[in-house]
Structure 1
Amino acid sequence: MESEARQKTTPKDLSTEVPGMMTKPSSMGDASWQEWVEPVIDILSNASNYIGEWFSTYKQLLTTLGIIVFGIISVKIIIAILGAISDIPLLAPILQLVGLGYTAWFVWRYLWKASNREELFAEFDAIKNQMFGDNA
């Protein structure tokens, strides 16, 4: 009698084989889930190929953008360093005096007389030939 009462109160979709499982697993939800997962797995498994093709296609553009970004970052760092140096007391005026002194020496040594200017141009030509060759 007890088993008859139990059968009457147990709904047909309840799982009695696996303890803790309230209902029988439906195969309909798994199929729709797999339809979404398979394309994602395909894309992820071929991701290195996609990325490699993309980089080879846009190599020159990426190089140019990288150089521009590196240049901007370098300028910002240099400006920050110069600002920090400028904030140190007496260092900025001393560096300005050194710069003025070197400029005065350069003018006196190379630009004051015509013979010294010819010597300077000869040194420039020697450096240019050393860097670019005799054809430049």
Structure 2
Amino acid sequence: MALEQEFHSIDVTSSTSTVAIEGVDTQNLPKLPPAGKSQTQWQQVSQFLEQFPDNLNRFWQAYQLPLIAVVVVLAATVTLRVAIAILNAINDLPLLEPTLELIGIVYSTWFVLRYLLQASTRQELWAEIRALTAQVLGD
């Protein structure tokens, strides 16, 4: 019981056109563009690079305020993380953390005694704050 299979050789070098499978509608199948009209990949890259400054300028004009907001938020986040890392590094030094805490307690005590206990010194502090804000804001 030997099964016999027929093998037919196909001549790929012939210039005759091939026939589609019978019963298949070839009119609705997608077709590739003609070979002469396609752009090479280098031409597409070159065209993209030529249009890139114009596209970037249009993108900047359309989204200027949101981009600035994103950059400010990112810069603030990076700055805050760097400041926290520096403070943690300083706090890891022996005897520096308690010394800085003592300095903060002494200064806070002096500030309360100097400016906040008496009404006249509170008015003096308020006048200094108003003068400073006028100087900074240019009022």
Q: Do the structures match in fold with TM over 0.5?
A: yes
Query: 2:132, 2:49 → 1: CA distance?
Result: 54
Q: 1:84 aligns with which of 54, 65, 89?
A: 89
Question: Normalized per residue, which structure has more helix?
Answer: 1
Q: Does 1:55 align with 2:55?
A: no
After superposition, the C-alpha distances for 1:26-72 in whole angstroms (9 at most, x for unaligned) are xxxx847x523334322221111111111221111110000000011
Q: Does 1:121 align with 2:116?
A: no
1:26 corresponds in structure 2 to none
Query: 2:133, 2:52 → 1: CA distance?
Result: 48
Question: Which segments of 5 or more consecutive residues in structure 2 lack a partner in the other structure?
Answer: 1-34
1:104 corresponds in structure 2 to 109
* Bigger relative CO (Cα 8 Å, ≥ 6 apart): 1
- The one-letter code of the counterpart of 2:96 is L
- The one-letter code of the counterpart of 1:36 is T
- The one-letter code of the counterpart of 2:95 is L
Q: Percent identity?
A: 35
- The one-letter code of the counterpart of 1:35 is Q
2:40 corresponds in structure 1 to 36
- The one-letter code of the counterpart of 1:121 is W
TM-score normalised by the chain length of structure 1: 0.69
